[in-house]
Amino acid sequence: MTDTSIVDTGLGDAEDDDFDELIEADEPDLPEHRYMDRELSWLAFNQRVLELAEDPKVPLLERTNFLAIFASNLDEFFMVRVAGLKRRIVTGLAVPSNIGTAPQRVLDGISRDAHDLQERHARVWNEQVRPALAEENIEFSELDDLSDDERAGLYEYFQQHMFPVLMPLAVDPAHPFPYISGLSLNLAVRIRHSRTGREEFARIKVPPMLPRAVRVPNADPDSNRVRFVHLESLIAEHLGDLFPGMEILEHHAFRLTRNEDMVIEEDESENLIQALEDELLRRRFGPPIRLEVTEDMDDVTLGLLLDELDISKQEVYRLPAPLDLRALYQLSKIDRPDLKYTTHVPITPLAFRPTESDSKHSRADVFGAIRQGDVLVHHPYESFATSVQAFLEQAARDPQVLAIKQTLYRTSGDSPIVKALIDAAENGKQVLALVEVKARFDEANNIEWARILEKSGVHVVYGLVGLKTHCKIASVIREEGDQLRHYTHLGTGNYNPKTSRIYEDFGLFTCDPIVGRDVTRLFNELSGYAIEKKFKRLLTAPLHLRKGLMKLIDRESSFAAAGKPAHVRIKVNSMVDEEIIDALYRASIAGVKVDVWVRGICSMRVDLPGVSDNIRVRSVLGRYLEHSRIFTFENGGSPEVYIGSADMMHRNLDRRIEALVQVTRDQHIRELTGYFDLAMDDGSSAWQLGENGAWTRHHVDADGKPLIDVQDKTMSLIHRRRQSRQKRR
């Protein structure tokens, strides 16, 4: 392949009818049962997260972090996937799963597997991680195990910081059962009046603004011993202060999960923002879908909760205390680097390092670097601040920049990205921000800073009705002499400097005029009307991406038939779309080598004789969240490679604006294929998909020696690559 950025993929001009004939010709028969259930596959993904928490070779405080990640993941799964399935069952709209399972059976299977996983999760904390922390002088103590002085210190903390904000709510004829907010931790308290002997029920919400792990005052200032008690235990210890003169009969922690999936009828809404704000209010009062209780909760208290919350016993999860292990995120603040991963410091991409001519300004000329050729950056190994952020900040202050256009899916209101757009508008530039206010669980934040952008003079649009804008694109129009030059960034991850430190993503910077024209047309259609056009160097959803990828996959089969190199590599977060999976099965049958690197859900099977013989599926989990999407096609020995925002899911391919961009520099193609090959190598640590959808972790060799950590190896390779290029310079 020539090292050029001006390439016509040929996909933009393909006629749909011709393509349909191409893929229908000589199609092999595929077995009926060729997919895995997507919901159970998601639970298998979260089990892989849990296995990292179980691994004694993972640094101890990182194991606690994986326990917290597991808990947070499962909460979202219930709030969205389980909630949506229950809603469809109740309304009669549910259809069989992707493998033909009846909806109620799917729900039963989820309940079975989720119960097992939550119990295993609790055991890992109580039997493995908590004792291991104690050996490192990080202890979670029971109040009865503390000295009188320590208990006195905690009581003082209770009186000063907790008692004023606690709100015990009684339930009696004059006080109806209180509203229980989703994911809140609560104490159910049964009390008896000392004078009347009448029993009552009360609920105390554990204040979410206070730390769940309360540090025990250390009597010895020279000791490195750190001890905590759980916030709810401290509240329970002092219930007498909250219910003076009452007898405390029982007290137990419980936690409720509600349906927080949002359904917006955009076609019927005159004002999307108002509709979203109304739905956000309704979300708070979604029906209950899961009740977590401590395993020692008595039947009377549990029966009362079941009746008042209108929830079934199948939806009750009895677990050993403590509930809600998201609280373990707090432990990451402990200053024990010996119990954490070795720090990786992101480096500035070599192309964006200041040159001698830049040194007087202490900043690199980002535009000058891009003019030298396309630049590929790999986060978090390479710095977001000195690449993406620097790109937009330079554009904001550059007098030759006339316009900036950007999509924003998830970011933060205090983000330097948002500030750069505001600065650009205040400097008189035309600025367009396409804000996706329907980004799940970020809706309120996105609405808030979208309004801030509007007040600053930024043109804010909210995308197309019925579609989410998920593509990651920033375009800068710069006047250079008598021409306008397009500088474009297309990425796999969000414009969010916080998540860029922990999410693995790629981004491509280019001033290729073909990409510039493609992106300009895309933005014009996003801010105007529906997308209908095809592009030269982009593949876009919802109209053309699936068919474009299927054409590329099918082309590999033609190469295999001709005896030429044929290989498909796909890295995504989720592999669910049946048409894409079937195309990969057909390629495998034709002799194409197929490698799939998936982080989360995977509905593919690798145990279909004669169908999946040439398919390998791997999953890599570690300190960073693998988030990039890569699509490479061997193309008979002249590899064709794309990166972008799309996962292989129905929502991405049918209901979202997505974009993949072709990567054309030989150096970048080698980097992307090399990264992929590292993850698929048998000498690298990864989970491998096997029979019946089972994932097996391979992280040590036959002698028990650890296999290569893909993320550590990638960091060292990037450092080595930079050093070698510096020497050549």
Structure tokens that stand for 310 in this block: 């209108």
- Determine the Cα–Cα distance for residues 512 and 516; give it in Å rounded to an integer: 6
Active site residue 33: no
Q: Which one of 470, 486, 567, 627 is the catalytic residue?
A: 470
Kindly report the backbone phi and psi dihedral angles of residue 680, in degrees, each rounded to the nearest multiple of 5, phi listed first. -90, -5
- Determine the Cα–Cα distance for residues 398 and 698; give it in Å rounded to an integer: 51
140, 216 Cβ separation under 8 angstroms: no
Query: b/e string for 64-96 if b means 16 or more Cβ within 10 A?
Result: bbbbbbbbbbbbebbbbbbbebbbeeeeeebee
Q: How many CB atoms lie within 10 A of CB 143?
A: 16
Contacts of 287 (CB under 8 A, 6+ apart): 83, 86, 258, 259, 310
Kindly report the backbone phi and psi dihedral angles of residue 486, in degrees, each rounded to the nearest multiple of 5, phi listed first. -95, 125
- Determine the Cα–Cα distance for residues 591 and 614; give it in Å rounded to an integer: 7
Contacts of 510 (CB under 8 A, 6+ apart): 5, 370, 374, 375, 487, 488, 490, 661
8: enclosing H helix or E strand: none
- Determine the Cα–Cα distance for residues 345 and 362; give it in Å rounded to an integer: 20
- Determine the Cα–Cα distance for residues 64 and 595; give it in Å rounded to an integer: 32
Structure tokens that stand for 9 in this block: 């993929």
Q: Among residues 517, 680, 506, which one has the least CA distance to residue 593?
A: 680
Q: How many CB atoms lie within 10 A of CB 165?
A: 10
Q: Among residues 254, 250, 236, which one has the least CA distance to residue 311?
A: 254
Structure tokens that stand for 448 in this block: 């808030």
Contacts of 68 (CB under 8 A, 6+ apart): 325, 326, 327, 328, 329
Residue where the block lists tokens 């999307």:
272
Q: Pairing relation of β-strands 459-461 and 430-435?
A: parallel
Structure tokens that stand for 298 in this block: 């008595």
Q: Pairing relation of β-strands 316-319 and 288-294?
A: parallel
- Determine the Cα–Cα distance for residues 451 and 462; give it in Å rounded to an integer: 12
Output the CA–CA distances (angstroms, integers) from residue 516 to 85, 513, 536, in the order listed: 42, 5, 10
Q: Pairing relation of β-strands 430-435 and 401-408?
A: parallel
Enumerate the β-bridge partners of residue 265.
none
125, 133 Cβ separation under 8 angstroms: no
Output the CA–CA distances (angstroms, integers) from residue 539 to 236, 388, 393, 663, in the order listed: 58, 22, 28, 12
- Determine the Cα–Cα distance for residues 536 and 513; give it in Å rounded to an integer: 11
- Determine the Cα–Cα distance for residues 514 and 35; give it in Å rounded to an integer: 39
Q: Among residues 183, 189, 184, which one has the least CA distance to residue 170?
A: 189
Catalytic amino acids? 470
